[in-house]
């Protein structure tokens, strides 16, 4: 059966009878009612800390919290739920890897290869740990279309390469990077691979055993779940060998002033009270999303993107940046007009888009621009949303 987009849209209270069109799902998705209800249910009926105490509330919260971890492990095809670490989001997960694995394993002269099209969250942590260890960050240039620079990558890999950091999909153009080729080649050189799945997790099924990434991270809020919850996947052997990053309660086995011993996985990386409600609600969002056919969702998003691209192509003053067919993102500039001015006029007409550098300065520099107007589609968007956007854009263009 085809997706009933009208019915799906009704599940999103923020969009019901809204006076705006929301085209910024790559920044954060809106939340379905079932996710909002699950969050409220936890605080109304289950609120308690986890892995502490013996009363029935904490037992119930702990069970739901760990069941959520198990569900995530199945969702991404991990070998064990012990390989799933709760974080505040993809950014914290990347910093955890840099500060725990990186500070332990990197030495002066070691190299970290990072794609030029990365989000700042997959650049800055590696720069920080390089300064701390004497390693160096090496850019993998992207092509003029914003695609992964495969030829440059093969030339840059060498015996000093210790880590490769790359996105599953980029947040500026929606480009899918060829992980199935990037990862095995890095492993041939003895390098580990960190994959930023923040954009990709919602657009294609993943299986960690098949992908063979050493680390994989994503945020819940781009997957129709709340903000403040994210996931770090790491191969068990790597996580076991890494020291804790944060210290505090729960992540310890025994504390004394002479010596502290740490808990096993995943506890040693989850100091303090975690985002319990966030983890439980992320599981609810995943269950909800899995109730739809993944292929049909993507076909729907690609149709919206293609429809938008065809309309934009009719305007000579518009330049689409790094166009990728069959994506859910479209970035463009209006020649001679600042991107923020375009976005402001769209907003005044009830069209919500993202304008700016999208936390990807190196990518913008490579394209030779200061920023773009970015449209990003979610499951709830319709062809009528696209028509309204095009109408509003044409009015904005007439103003300029």
Structure confidence by residue, pLDDT tens digits, 172-181: 999 999 999 9
Closest CA to 114 of 148, 79, 143: 148
Q: Are 329 and 305 in contact (CB under 8 A)?
A: yes
Query: CA-CA distances (angstroms) from residue 373 to 126, 166, 221, 358, 370?
Result: 28, 23, 21, 9, 11
As annotated, the active-site residues are 359
Q: Are 397 and 334 in contact (CB under 8 A)?
A: yes
CATH at residue 378:
3.90.1150.10
Whether 300 and 276 map to the same domain: the answer is no
Last residue within a domain, chosen from 269, 289, 309 = 289
Q: Are 182 and 215 in contact (CB under 8 A)?
A: no
Q: Are 223 and 289 in contact (CB under 8 A)?
A: yes
What pLDDT sits at residue 18?
87
What pLDDT sits at residue 91?
98
Last residue within a domain, chosen from 289, 304, 329 = 289
Could you give the 3-state DSSP secondary structure of residue 290?
A: coil
The answer to whether residue 72 is domain-embedded is: yes
The answer to whether residue 31 is domain-embedded is: no
What average pLDDT score do residues 214-228 get?
98
Whether 178 and 307 map to the same domain: the answer is no
What pLDDT sits at residue 54?
85
Closest CA to 288 of 2, 6, 12, 61: 12
The answer to whether residue 131 is domain-embedded is: yes
Q: Is 295 exposed, middle or buried (0-12, 13-18, 19+ CB in 10 A)?
A: exposed
Q: How does residue 1 score in pLDDT terms, banded at 50, 70 and 90?
A: low
Whether 210 and 342 map to the same domain: the answer is no
pTM as predicted: 0.97
What pLDDT sits at residue 52?
83
Interatomic CA distance for residues 115 and 159, integer angstroms: 18
Q: Are 204 and 177 in contact (CB under 8 A)?
A: no
Interatomic CA distance for residues 208 and 192, integer angstroms: 14
Structure confidence by residue, pLDDT tens digits, 275-313: 999 999 999 999 999 999 999 999 999 999 999 999 999
**36 token code pair:** 């909002």
Q: How does residue 338 score in pLDDT terms, banded at 50, 70 and 90?
A: very high
Whether 57 and 167 map to the same domain: the answer is yes
Whether 220 and 284 map to the same domain: the answer is yes
**359 token code pair:** 């936390």
Whether 77 and 41 map to the same domain: the answer is yes
Whether 281 and 299 map to the same domain: the answer is no
Spell out the residues 6+ positions from residue 296 whose beta carbon is closer than 8 angstroms to its own: 2, 3
Domain count, the chain: 2
Last residue within a domain, chosen from 289, 320, 340 = 289
Whether 255 and 134 map to the same domain: the answer is yes
What pLDDT sits at residue 2?
76
Q: How does residue 31 score in pLDDT terms, banded at 50, 70 and 90?
A: very high
Task: Look up the domain containing 141 and give its range.
Answer: 36-289
What average pLDDT score do residues 211-235 get?
98
Whether 312 and 181 map to the same domain: the answer is no
Q: Is 375 exposed, middle or buried (0-12, 13-18, 19+ CB in 10 A)?
A: buried
The answer to whether residue 170 is domain-embedded is: yes
What average pLDDT score do residues 326-331 get?
96
Whether 75 and 214 map to the same domain: the answer is yes
Whether 122 and 196 map to the same domain: the answer is yes
Whether 277 and 320 map to the same domain: the answer is no
């Amino acid at each position: 059966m085809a997706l009933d987009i009208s019915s799906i849209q009704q599940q999103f209270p923020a969009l019901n009878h809204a006076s705006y069109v929301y085209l910024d799902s790559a920044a954060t998705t809106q939340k379905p009612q079932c996710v909002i209800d699950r969050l409220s249910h936890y605080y109304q009926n289950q609120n308690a800390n986890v892995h502490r105490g013996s009363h029935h509330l904490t037992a119930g919260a702990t069970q739901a919290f760990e069941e959520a971890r198990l569900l995530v492990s199945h969702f991404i095809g991990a070998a064990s739920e012990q390989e799933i670490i709760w974080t505040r989001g993809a950014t914290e997960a990347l910093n955890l890897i840099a500060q725990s694995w990186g500070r332990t394993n990197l030495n002066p002269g070691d190299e970290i290869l990072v794609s030029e099209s990365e989000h700042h969250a997959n650049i800055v942590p590696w720069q920080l740990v390089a300064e701390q260890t004497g390693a160096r960050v090496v850019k993998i240039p992207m092509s003029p279309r914003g695609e992964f620079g495969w030829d440059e990558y093969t030339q840059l890999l060498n015996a000093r390469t210790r880590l490769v950091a790359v996105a599953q999909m980029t947040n500026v153009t929606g480009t899918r990077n060829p992980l199935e080729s990037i990862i095995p080649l890095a492993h041939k050189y003895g390098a580990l691979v960190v994959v930023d799945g923040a954009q990709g997790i919602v657009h294609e099924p993943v299986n960690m055993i098949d992908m063979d990434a050493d680390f994989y991270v994503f945020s819940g809020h781009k997957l129709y779940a709340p903000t403040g919850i994210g996931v770090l996947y790491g191969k068990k052997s790597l996580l076991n060998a890494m020291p804790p990053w944060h210290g505090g309660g729960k992540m310890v086995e025994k504390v004394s002033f002479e010596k502290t011993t740490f808990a096993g996985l995943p506890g040693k990386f989850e100091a303090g009270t975690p985002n319990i409600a966030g983890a439980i609600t992320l599981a609810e969002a995943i269950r909800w999303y899995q109730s739809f056919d993944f292929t049909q969702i993507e076909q729907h998003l690609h149709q919206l993107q293609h429809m938008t691209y065809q309309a934009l192509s009719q305007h000579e003053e518009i330049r689409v940046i790094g166009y990728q067919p069959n994506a859910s993102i479209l970035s463009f500039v209006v020649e001679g007009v600042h991107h923020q001015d375009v976005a402001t006029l769209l907003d005044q007409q009830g069209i919500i888009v993202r304008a700016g550098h999208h936390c990807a300065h190196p990518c913008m520099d490579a394209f030779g621009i200061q920023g773009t107007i970015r449209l990003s589609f979610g499951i709830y968007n319709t062809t009528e949303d696209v028509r309204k956007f095009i109408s509003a854009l044409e009015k904005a263009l007439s103003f300029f």
